[in-house]
Amino acid sequence: MWNRLQQRARDLKRETYALYLAYRDPRTPWYARIVVACVVAYALSPIDLIPDFMPILGYLDDLVLLPLGIALALRRIPADVMRESRAHAAHASQRPTSWAAAAVIVAIWLGIAGLGLWWFIRMLYR
């Protein structure tokens, strides 16, 4: 069972990379790119909806949300684009690293945390 879960995790990573490649393909429609960008950003983000250190629940969001997001994205990407992206992802040895994308994700999360802190302090001193 553990080996099967590990294989599933590797498949999810490869599929996420294939989605990234499909996102960069000019034949991918703009609305599919938006869905793919959200899915890939969530998959590559070090910050999860439920932190991974929480037993069971931490990995449950990855095991549920990622496949649902991938399925939604796959419905919007042309089949030939996805076939080519999967073939390229199968041969790729490393996943993409975009420091600009990471900075945007971190900035969004810091902005959300800052707004939450501002709201909390404001509520405290009312």
Question: Do residues 39 and 70 touch, judged by C-beta distance below 8 A?
Answer: yes
What is the structure's pLDDT at 95? Answer: 52
- Mean of the pLDDT values across residues 13-27? 87
pLDDT in tens, 78-109: 999 999 998 888 877 555 567 787 788 888 88
Provide the percentage of residues in the chain whose pLDDT is more than 90. 27
What residue spans of the chain are helical by DSSP H?
2-24, 30-44, 57-74, 79-91, 99-124
Distances (CA, A) of 10 to 6, 97, 124: 6, 17, 46
State percent of the chain over pLDDT 70.
Answer: 83
pLDDT in tens, 58-72: 677 777 777 888 889
Give the pair of three-digit tokens for residue 9: 């995790």
CA gap 64, 84 in Å, rounded: 26
With 0.85 as the threshold, say if the pTM is over it: no
Answer yes or no: are the C-beta atoms of 57 and 68 closer than 8 Å: no
